[in-house]
Amino acid sequence: MEDIYTVYKGVLFEDSIRNDIGKENVSVCRFLHFLNIDDIAQHVENNHYSNKDWHFRYRVSSTIKLTIVKCFRNLSFNKTISSLSDEEALLLHFVDYNGYIKLPSGATLHHFIKYRLGKEGLQ
């Protein structure tokens, strides 16, 4: 298990999945935070985006993880976005270059799932 170091608004956070083992109620976002899906995100970027210059407003890996949250919580697209706390948004890496939390809209998540992942990619 590896520790993760994150700087948010000038504060260093050290985190490890060891901190959550044995707890009863842990957000799915905390577990997704420790999951490295860079290879999956790279595959989606390479095979499902034609114009790579302007498409990446959000990290593909973050949007994939948000898709997992949507499926896990069984909520609508808009309710999934509004259900995220600031901490969960940070754990999923929805932070812009200035350190502010920037979440996609429900329509953006819907577009990502329907057109980027498709039925085969979602399963």
With 60 as the cut, is the pLDDT of residue 8 above it?
Answer: no
Q: Residue 12 has what pLDDT?
A: 44
pLDDT by residue (tens digit) across 57-78? 788 899 999 999 999 999 999 9
- Give the largest Cα separation in the chain, rounded: 45
If DSSP codes are grouped into helix, strand and coil, which group holds residue 118? helix
Task: Over range 29-51, report the average pLDDT.
Answer: 81
Q: Choose among 92, 40, 41: nearest CA to 69.
A: 92
Q: Residue 28 has what pLDDT?
A: 85
Q: Choose among 59, 58, 72: nearest CA to 30.
A: 72
Q: How confident is the model at residue 21 (pLDDT cuts 50, 70, 90)?
A: low
Q: Residue 7 has what pLDDT?
A: 59
Q: Residue 33 has what pLDDT?
A: 83
pLDDT by residue (tens digit) across 75-110? 999 999 999 998 899 889 898 878 789 999 999 999
